[in-house]
Amino acid sequence: MRIEDRLAVNKYDIDRDIHIAVNPDVCTKCHSRTCLYVCPAGCFTLVDGRLNFSYEGCLECGTCRIVCEAGAITWTLPRPGLGISYEYG
């Protein structure tokens, strides 16, 4: 089964008080951009050479925060009842 198919059975109730924040000023100085390669949901992309983060599909695994050597990512759990529900469908 493809990762896209697996992600499709999850339910997302997005926490509008974004629980993950990325500091773009710090990201512009980063050369490795490891977050682009380790996020299992592909939430990090490059748009016109700038790092873009889309929190809507986040799996809340925390991998991005762990691999960010520059400390550009702040990550907290979403509020109770919000976030991802795995294998909902």
Question: Residue 12 maps to which CATH number?
Answer: 3.30.70.20
Domain count, the chain: 1
User: Is residue 87 in some structural domain?
Assistant: no
Cβ neighbours of residue 6 under 8 Å, at least 6 residues apart? none
For the segment 18-59, what is each residue's pLDDT rounded down to a tens digit? 678 888 889 888 888 999 999 988 989 988 888 888 877 788
User: Is residue 89 in some structural domain?
Assistant: no
User: Is residue 60 in some structural domain?
Assistant: yes
User: Is residue 59 in some structural domain?
Assistant: yes
pLDDT of residue 37: 94
Q: Is the dihedral of CA 53, 17, 19, 72 positive or negative?
A: positive
User: Is residue 12 in some structural domain?
Assistant: yes
pTM above 0.85, yes or no: no
How far, CA to CA in Å, does 24 sit from each of 2, 6, 12, 17, 75?
31, 30, 25, 18, 15
Q: State the burial class of residue 3 (Cβ atoms within 10 Å of its Cβ: 0-12, 13-18, 19+).
A: exposed
Backbone angles phi, psi at 45, to 5 degrees: -140, 165
CA gap 6, 4 in Å, rounded? 5
For residue 68, give its domain range: 3-82
